[in-house]
Amino acid sequence: MIRWSQQLIPTLREAPAEAEIPSHQLMLRAGLIRKLAGGLYTFLPLGHRALRKVEQIVREEMDRAGALEVLMPAMHPQELWEQTGRFGVLKEVMFKIKDRQERNLVLGPTHEEVVTDLVAHEVQSYRQLPINLYQIQTKFRDEIRPRFGLMRAKEFIMKDAYSFDMNLEGVERSYRAMYTAYERIFKRAGLRTKAVEADTGAMGGSASHEFMVLADAGEDGVIECDACAYAANLERAEGVGRGEKVFADADKTPAVVATPNRKTITGVATFFQTTPARLIKTLIYLADEKPVAVLVPGDREVNEIKLKRALKCAALALADDVMISKVTGAPVGFAGPVGLTIPVIADEKLQGYRGAITGANQADAHLVNVDLARDAQVGTWGDLSNANAGDGCPRCGQGQLVAKRGIEVGHVFKLGTKYSEALGAGYLDPDGQRKIAIMGCYGIGVTRTLQSVIEQSHDANGIVWPISIAPYQVEVLPINVAHGPTMEAALKIAAELEAAGFDVLFDDRDERPGVKFKDADLLGLPIRVNVGEKGLAKGVLEIKLRHTGEMRTAAPEQAFAAVQAAAAELRQAVTPA
């Protein structure tokens, strides 16, 4: 049992203005964390206790799934990152330092390089595979805009695991084991998550899932079907367009219409008194430095991940104004596919577009009555645009897609052989042939998971902790600490609970009851035992459940059993099926 007066619980009546979302405000107000500088936080005792409990759940489930815990350095030689070519890709977000011998080091944002180097040295034979190594460790990212407390910080704790297998069946088994472990971890932490298909880069297939917490504060777009289980990150989601494709005057020939200063989709749609969907948005990109015209319906955004894959290019960027004028002959805002001499790639949702409107490739003019197949030279068709809410489901064909926001708390990913090839992580098979190991990687943002629980589980009065990760499970609150019998009864129940293994916080402060009750709700410990003079006179203690606000009473000698029963109910909610 810890006495409140001896614990460090600096609660705040008001959240500092910088805290924009409820979970960040509550972590500060309940005295769980304090900011040192932008994106850098200290865990105070209560925050640290909850963090340790989340870590313990992660550790138990990783061990249960057969992964082996290690601890790798946070500081890495830069040359290791150069060997896989990732230094060039990630150098903007990596903290780079030098030691006294002027050797270049980086602070790791992730550990594929380090773990693969380890396995390259320690694994020689197929008999040592499969193997899955994990750690719970601090990572570093030089975020441009750290925000939302622990959600996007410069320093954060992750669990990262890396599996090494001999064949694709093995990879699938490792992946499934981690997927199941993740479902159990989040359930045990009291977090409702949704596994969504995520972008896989060159791997293809459903080789990557993100575990998302649906929340308005989420920085990721999530698309889900209202009829089946299909759910995907917006970056990856496919949608079946259900809009019109043949518009008025579809059979007429293209005609130039003056549209002075109408450069935006909305501006042009308003001018023609039509919907943005009738417009063909034309963007000029440089793919490996060569210009290409990219067409999508006017009501959709280009998805650069999909575009990059369709173009099979290494570098992709929007062309600058000079290049746009050069290839279209018009200032920015008036590009269209008709008459272009550079390659044209079009979103498949534009197949069959007739009677459409595009830029005319001359200043202040648009082209109407465009039949895309008839009037333009489309070299390639592909899925190039984001799915929109209201699109048809690509999986079941019945449902409609809905857009949500999500916080990514976990990611499972089939990596393939990119790192094992670059760093020589291989093994000798039973025939003595040298083979390359196939990898998977699996991350959980531990500090982010902790904050996500609060984002998902709070009310107007404060945090509502799941019993599994609450800093303390029970708060014993003597209403008047100057009243002898009150203190005696309160200390007795606290001691009984502690002896039975409960973590107990004892509010021994000589404060007004209102202050103590408010603080108790703010802290949000799952079970509270109020001990007061009035209750004792009636022969009862009060047992309050934070998540429902339900107040139960029990005679002092039955209070222990009543708390145990309440705790058992609360544990049910965080027990995996």
Binding site for Zn ion (CB under 5 A): 225, 227-228, 230, 393, 395-396, 399
Q: Residue 53 or 404: which CB sits closer to Zn ion?
A: 404
353: tokens are 């577009």
Residue with tokens 């297939």: 205
Least Cβ distance, residue 231 to Zn ion (angstroms): 9
Q: Residue 76 or 236: which CB sits closer to Zn ion?
A: 236
258: β partners: 365
Least Cβ distance, residue 399 to Zn ion (angstroms): 4
Q: Report the C-alpha gap between 78 and 107 in whole angstroms.
A: 9
Which residues 6+ apart lie within 8 Å of 366 measured at CB?
Answer: 256, 257, 259, 262, 268, 272, 334, 336, 357, 358, 359, 360
CA dihedral 481, 487, 493, 494 (to 10 degrees): 50
Contact 208, 199 (CB under 8 A): yes
Least Cβ distance, residue 220 to Zn ion (angstroms): 20
In degrees, rounded to 5, the angle at the alpha carbon of residue 38 between the alpha carbons of residues 32 and 43 is: 20
Q: What are phi and psi of 53, to 5 degrees?
A: -70, -40
Which string of DSSP letters, residue by residue, matches 282-310? EEEEEETTEEEEEEEETTS-B-HHHHHHH
Distances (CA, A) of 485 to 476, 480, 533, 534: 15, 10, 8, 11
Q: Residue 227 or 481: which CB sits closer to Zn ion?
A: 227
Least Cβ distance, residue 136 to Zn ion (angstroms): 37
Least Cβ distance, residue 226 to Zn ion (angstroms): 8
Q: Spell out where 392-506 has E strands.
A: 401-416, 426-428, 434-436, 438-445, 458-459, 462-463, 474-478, 504-506
Least Cβ distance, residue 401 to Zn ion (angstroms): 8
- Please count the other Cβ atoms lying within 10 Å of the Cβ belonging to residue 97: 12
Least Cβ distance, residue 206 to Zn ion (angstroms): 15
Q: Residue 131 or 240: which CB sits closer to Zn ion?
A: 240
Q: Residue 399 or 416: which CB sits closer to Zn ion?
A: 399
Which residues 6+ apart lie within 8 Å of 549 measured at CB?
Answer: none
Q: Report the C-alpha gap between 338 and 358 in whole angstroms.
A: 8
Least Cβ distance, residue 197 to Zn ion (angstroms): 12
Q: Residue 4 or 230: which CB sits closer to Zn ion?
A: 230
Contact 509, 6 (CB under 8 A): no
Which string of DSSP letters, residue by residue, matches 132-146? EEEEEEEEE---SS-
Q: Residue 395 or 492: which CB sits closer to Zn ion?
A: 395
Q: Residue 216 or 226: which CB sits closer to Zn ion?
A: 226
35: tokens are 């900011």
**Whether the bond into 10 is cis, omega within 30 of 0:** no
Q: Residue 89 or 396: which CB sits closer to Zn ion?
A: 396
Contact 432, 492 (CB under 8 A): no
Least Cβ distance, residue 214 to Zn ion (angstroms): 17
Question: Residue 105's closest CA among 133, 140, 81, 139?
Answer: 81
Q: Residue 238 or 508: which CB sits closer to Zn ion?
A: 238
Least Cβ distance, residue 199 to Zn ion (angstroms): 20
Least Cβ distance, residue 237 to Zn ion (angstroms): 12
In degrees, rounded to 5, the angle at the alpha carbon of residue 169 between the alpha carbons of residues 166 and 171 is: 65
158: β partners: 137, 445
Q: Residue 227 or 305: which CB sits closer to Zn ion?
A: 227
Q: Residue 182 or 230: which CB sits closer to Zn ion?
A: 230
Least Cβ distance, residue 179 to Zn ion (angstroms): 20
